[in-house]
Chains A and B, each alone.
Chain A
Amino acid sequence: KNEVEQSPQNLTAQEGEFITINCSYSVGISALHWLQQHPGGGIVSLFMLSSGKKKHGRLIATINIQEKHSSLHITASHPRDSAVYICAVNYGGSQGNLIFGKGTKLSVKP
């Protein structure tokens, strides 16, 4: 069974801290996505990557294809970063649909 595992499940940080959320998957993929879900429920796509590293503002996503592992880093965290962060992977094939992790709930305290 193809699985996507995220850790930690819950994370509480103080404002300004460096945050890392991890994602591991079980088989080869064509792409990995990091998504952000705010308390209202809407989801925003943060990154889509298949190799290396991407950076957008204070967010950095890395992927190690050999180790089947990706990390999402947040530098200088802020309370507005509080959200659920979801990792999802494309296993390729004709379907192209995503397999989702259960999410990491991040709370950043002022």
Chain B
Amino acid sequence: DGGITQSPKYLFRKEGQNVTLSCEQNLNHDAMYWYRQDPGQGLRLIYYSQIVNDFQKGDIAEGYSVSREKKESFPLTVTSAQKNPTAFYLCASSITVGGGQYFGPGTRLTVT
């Protein structure tokens, strides 16, 4: 079955550590996205990628980094520079930018 996988579902880290969240898709989609969700707020775009080896900052990119070396994979690194990293992180993909998006199950990151 085609879809998007994110791992792990729950992740715990100590403050000051970088952590990388995984996102893989087998839908053959060109575009991929990372969103952050906080209680009482709408999802906010962190980074997106239109195609392999390309990515663009979203609305809240500070403290995050991404790579897109393969079409299937779009990992997100939460760096120690991110002031409030505890959140629910969602990855999505679409055939092209602007198309309907398919979402992964999400990773809940807790930093203490």
Contacts and interface: CB of A to CB of B under 8 A. Distances in A.
Contacts of A97: 33, 45, 48, 58, 97
Interface residues of B, number: 27
Nearest to B97: A96
Interface stretch (B21-29, B65-73, B74-82, B103-111): B103-111
Contacts of B40: 102
Interface in A27-47: 30-31, 33, 35, 40-45
B45 A98 contact: yes
Interface string B82-105: 000000101010001111111111
Contacts of B11: none
Interface in A73-92: 86, 88, 90, 92
A40 B98 contact: no
Contact of A33 (B56, B101, B105, B106): B101
A95 interface: yes
A4 interface: yes
Contacts of A92: 98
A102 B41 contact: yes
A30 B98 contact: yes
A31 B97 CA distance: 12
Contacts of B88: 41
B68 to A, nearest CB: 15
B57 to A, nearest CB: 10
Nearest to B41: A102
Contact of A103 (B42, B90, B103): B42
A44 B24 CA distance: 17
A86 B43 CA distance: 9
Please give me the 9 A-B residue pairs with the lowest Cβ-Cβ distance, nearest first.
Answer: A96-B98, A96-B97, A100-B42, A43-B103, A41-B106, A42-B105, A48-B100, A100-B43, A102-B42
9 contacts: A41-B108, A42-B103, A43-B90, A43-B103, A43-B106, A86-B42, A86-B43, A90-B98, A100-B44
